[in-house]
Structure 1
Amino acid sequence: MIEDWKHFLLPYQQAVDELKVKLRGMRKQFQDQSAHSPIEFVTGRVKPVESIQEKMVRRHVQEDRLEQDMQDIAGLRIMCQFVEDIYQVVDLLRERTDITIIEERDYITNVKPSGYRSYHIVIEYPVQLVTGEKRILAEIQVRTLAMNFWATVEHSLNYKYQGEFPEAMATRLKTAAEAAFKLDEEMSEIREDIQEAQQLFSHGRGAEWTKSAIESQEDQNDQVERGNE
């Protein structure tokens, strides 16, 4: 039995905190070069104990296999403006030497039956503890803002219906998912114009407002992530 969950989860919280700083730092590097950043904002959370225990029962995960078999105890989410940005972020993550990619799941090309779209990457990340290095698994989800809006709504409804959606609800959710992706496709069509306009805005009076808005959004989404489990 895990008797001290706070002690068990400490390395995961450290990993989330460090990765948020590093991923947000990538965005700042693009901004420093006056280039379009494929990263809009980054959030992260450690899965609450109740959610871990529920998933252990649902997925038949044994306690002595928890660290190996549950890949999303530490979770990061990278939000992008465009679908093309998602794949650029994935390429950037593949090039990093401070993480090891264990698995990739492309639910954008291979859409789930529910309509869910996102790009999932399971990584191994080394955390430096006073007792030495500990390598833990973490999951990074990369998605557009439209994909995230749909997934957040679906998650809330899933909680209400305990995974058993009425047929009419499931159909409407899938239709909404297709509409959200259609929006992403339309935005991609005018991506160059959008990016040019954003560059002009970010160098004008909107620069400080944009920075403040993104940081505020990240703080709010960190709170939402903790509450959505």
Structure 2
Amino acid sequence: MDQNWEEFLTPYNQAVEELKVKLKGMRKEFSKGNLHIPIEFVTGRVKPVNSIIEKAALRNIPLDKLEIEMQDIAGLRIMCQFVEDIHEVVRLLRNRNDMKIIEERDYITNKKESGYRSYHIVFEYPVQLINGEKRILGEIQVRTLAMNFWATIEHSLNYKYQGEFPDAINVRLKRAAEAAFQLDEEMSQIREEIQEAQHLFSNSKRATVEKTQKD
């Protein structure tokens, strides 16, 4: 396996790049239709080799079983402004016919003990290679900007403490998670006003661009 990592990861890289284009295309469709855009932005990555090996050792996954037992080698993240947008994005993903949803994990309704919130979708995606079709597993995480901010900080601290957070850090992280969720709740309460303001701003910006082009 050591000598074949590049070949092994090729379909995963291709899947991430293709899906980033497709998901960003969804965002453009909403924009062209002058509709509220549930997707703020999309990112994606293929798990580095050292991370794959570490996780395989931690989970007792044989390297020759990675394709079927490790679900997040290909990972994408969809950021949303509002919690309601997450549910809309999940609905849109369920309706796609270019991927098969294998599993859904709702860590928003059922947050993790740490305070982590996000919506995870494990999917199967067909990649077209020169030797035929290759179906790979991947994971899409859908979360708000506030949830992502907390998760990024928690992930960074995890590297320092290797998952064994001091009690004081644990308490503060949980408080921060609740504060982030409360921010999302407050934004949901004024969601219509925010969307209206964004709509007016977009129309004004579009009108200015069109006027400049005519002049």
TM over 0.5: yes
Name the structure 1 match of 2:26: 26
The amino acid of 1:116's aligned partner reads: Y
Secondary structure of 1:135's partner? Answer: strand
- Deviation track 1:40-91 (CA, whole Å, cap 9, x = no partner) reads 1000000000100110111111112100010000000000000000010000
Mapped contact 1:125–1:137 kept (Cα < 8 A): yes
- Deviation track 1:155-213 (CA, whole Å, cap 9, x = no partner) reads 0000000110001100100000000000000000000000000011112238999xxxx
Mapped contact 1:201–1:207 kept (Cα < 8 A): no
Bigger drift between 196-205 and 40-49 goes to 196-205
Whole-angstrom distance in 2 between the partners of 1:75 and 1:19:
10
Name the structure 1 match of 2:191: 191
RMSD: 1.4
Whole-angstrom distance in 1 between the partners of 2:93 and 2:14:
19
State the aligned residue count.
209
Name the structure 2 match of 1:68: 68
Percent identity for Structure 1 against Structure 2: 73
- Quick one: structure 1 residues 206 and 176, their matched pair in 2 at CA, closer, same or farther if it must change by over 3 Å? farther
The amino acid of 2:134's aligned partner reads: K
Structure with greater Cα Rg: 2
- Deviation track 1:76-118 (CA, whole Å, cap 9, x = no partner) reads 0000000000010000000000000000000000000000000
Tell me whether 1:178 sits opposite 2:178 in the alignment.
yes
Name the structure 2 match of 1:6: 6
Whole-angstrom distance in 2 between the partners of 1:84 and 1:188:
8
TM-score (norm. length: structure 1)? 0.89
Name the structure 1 match of 2:213: none
The amino acid of 1:130's aligned partner reads: I
Name the structure 2 match of 1:141: 141
Whole-angstrom distance in 2 between the partners of 1:198 and 1:150:
25
What are the ranges of 5 or more consecutive residues in structure 2 without an aligned counterpart? 210-215
Secondary structure of 2:3's partner? Answer: coil
Name the structure 1 match of 2:59: 59
Whole-angstrom distance in 2 between the partners of 1:108 and 1:64:
33
- Deviation track 1:112-140 (CA, whole Å, cap 9, x = no partner) reads 00000000000000000000000000100
Mapped contact 1:14–1:127 kept (Cα < 8 A): yes
Q: How far apart are 1:4 and its partner, in Å? A: 1.7
Whole-angstrom distance in 2 between the partners of 1:46 and 1:30:
27
The amino acid of 2:75's aligned partner reads: G
Mapped contact 1:38–1:80 kept (Cα < 8 A): yes
Q: How far apart are 1:2 and its partner, in Å? A: 3.9
TM-score (norm. length: structure 2)? 0.95
What are the ranges of 5 or more consecutive residues in structure 1 without an aligned counterpart? 210-229
The amino acid of 2:138's aligned partner reads: A
- Higher relative contact order, chain-length normalized (CA < 8 Å, sep 6+): 1
Whole-angstrom distance in 1 between the partners of 2:14 and 2:99:
14
Secondary structure of 1:4's partner? Answer: helix
Whole-angstrom distance in 2 between the partners of 1:62 and 1:136:
17
Name the structure 2 match of 1:79: 79
